[in-house]
């Protein structure tokens, strides 16, 4: 029997199970449902229900992200196929790490140039 909820139908482009993402985060960061519930001003059973849901309203996910200080929206963005990311094959986190590394290299070069200028003028 069809539920009328097409977003629940399994397909090749299944979206991430948001409740599982939240559950994994809580386990990894040793956060209890009760602690998260307190921050969200809801009951622990409400948080338990969130963890069982495959999908979640954006407002709820936003509030959970703020409560636990983690950007679940970015995690969802990373889950999209690379073809939806401007053809890039790396996630934004990888791109940022590469840029951070390049900045560090440039800062080293700048320090070398500064030392050369100081030694010539000194």
Tens of pLDDT, residues 78-108: 787 767 755 455 667 788 889 999 999 999 9
CB 13 within 8 A of CB 56: no
Task: State whether residue 2 is helix, strand or coil.
Answer: coil
pLDDT value, residue 81: 75
Rounded to whole angstroms, the Cα distance separating 71 from 7 reads 23
pLDDT tens per residue, range 42-81: 999 999 999 999 999 999 999 999 999 999 998 888 787 7
Residues 100, 71 share a domain? no
Residues 48, 15 share a domain? yes
Domains held by the chain: number: 2
Residues 21, 64 share a domain? yes
* H helix intervals, the chain: 18-28, 33-40, 44-52, 58-68, 72-79, 92-121
Structural domain range at position 114: 83-122
This prediction's pTM = 0.63
């Amino acid at each position: 029997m069809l539920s009328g909820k097409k977003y629940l139908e399994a397909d090749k482009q299944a979206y991430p199970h948001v409740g599982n993402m939240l559950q994994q985060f809580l386990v990894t960061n040793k956060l209890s449902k009760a602690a998260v519930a307190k921050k969200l001003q809801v009951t622990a059973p409400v948080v338990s229900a969130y963890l069982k849901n495959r999908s979640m309203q954006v407002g709820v996910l936003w509030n959970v992200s703020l409560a636990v200080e983690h950007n679940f929206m970015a995690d969802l963005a990373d889950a999209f196929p690379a073809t939806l990311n401007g053809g890039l094959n790396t996630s934004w986190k990888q791109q940022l790490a590469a840029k951070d590394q390049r900045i560090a290299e440039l800062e080293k070069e700048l320090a070398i140039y500064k030392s050369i200028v100081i030694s010539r003028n000194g």
